[in-house]
Amino acid sequence: MLVTSYEYAHQIVDSNKNLSWDGWNILEAKESLGAEYKPDGKLINGKWHYVKSFNLTENGWEVPTKYVRSRMDSKS
């Protein structure tokens, strides 16, 4: 889902432990032992994670619906 507001993107990142900021991009990191052997694997705080980046474009951030939906549900 396209997120066009920095404030809303920040709320999404703050409300999910798998998300963090890398400059203006949103990172999704999921812990996995198998990530050590994969190109998208990254060592974070001594544990291996699969990492995916949702880069800022001229339109905003394309964030998976599961993160946006969980944030929308918590608003009601």
Quote the strand ranges of the chain, DSSP E: 2-3, 19-22, 25-31, 41-44, 47-54, 61-62
Taking Cα atoms as reference points, which of 35, 5, 10, 7 lies closest to residue 21? 10
**Per-residue pLDDT at 72:** 54
Each residue's pLDDT tens digit in the chain (76 positions)? Answer: 999 999 999 999 999 999 999 999 999 999 999 999 999 999 999 999 999 999 999 999 999 999 987 555 444 3
Full-model pTM: 0.82
SS3 call for 4:
coil
Side-chain half-sphere CA neighbours of 55 within 13 A: 2
**Per-residue pLDDT at 26:** 98
Give the domain ranges of the chain.
2-75
**Per-residue pLDDT at 70:** 56
